[in-house]
Amino acid sequence: MNRRQIVDKMTLVIERNLNVRLPDQVSESDRLYEDLNIDSIMVLQLVVYLEEEFGVEVPEEAVDPAVFRTIGSLVTFIEQLLDTRMQV
């Protein structure tokens, strides 16, 4: 799965499960809090939805604010979780 596919899938998860209206074009530089109006409670919900959607487990200690700064940082994090899952 490439980065664009992860962004597209993540966008659907956000819109469908968090009821957030996103711009037509979501960019990796979009900031979750400032640009997309996602709050801290929504981020916790998003973690659960992303675990389900991508079949990964987010370790509690990995929930770092830097991971949730931008769409791109979140995509990188998901890629790492997917890579870890593949190695197991």
- As a whole number of angstroms, the distance between CA 60 and CA 58 comes to 6
| pLDDT, one tens digit for every residue, the chain (88 residues) | 899 999 999 999 999 999 899 999 999 999 999 999 999 999 999 999 999 999 999 988 877 889 999 999 999 999 999 998 776 5
What is the residue whose two structure tokens read 């916790």?
44
Q: Are 67 and 74 in contact (CB under 8 A)?
A: yes
pTM, rounded to two decimals: 0.88
Q: How far apart, in Å, are the Cα atoms of 77 and each of 13, 58, 80, 81?
A: 16, 9, 5, 6
- As a whole number of angstroms, the distance between CA 8 and CA 19 comes to 16
What CATH number should be reported for the domain holding residue 59? 1.10.1200.10
The SS3 of residue 33 is coil
* Number of structural domains found in the chain: 1
Q: Which domain holds residue 48?
A: 3-87
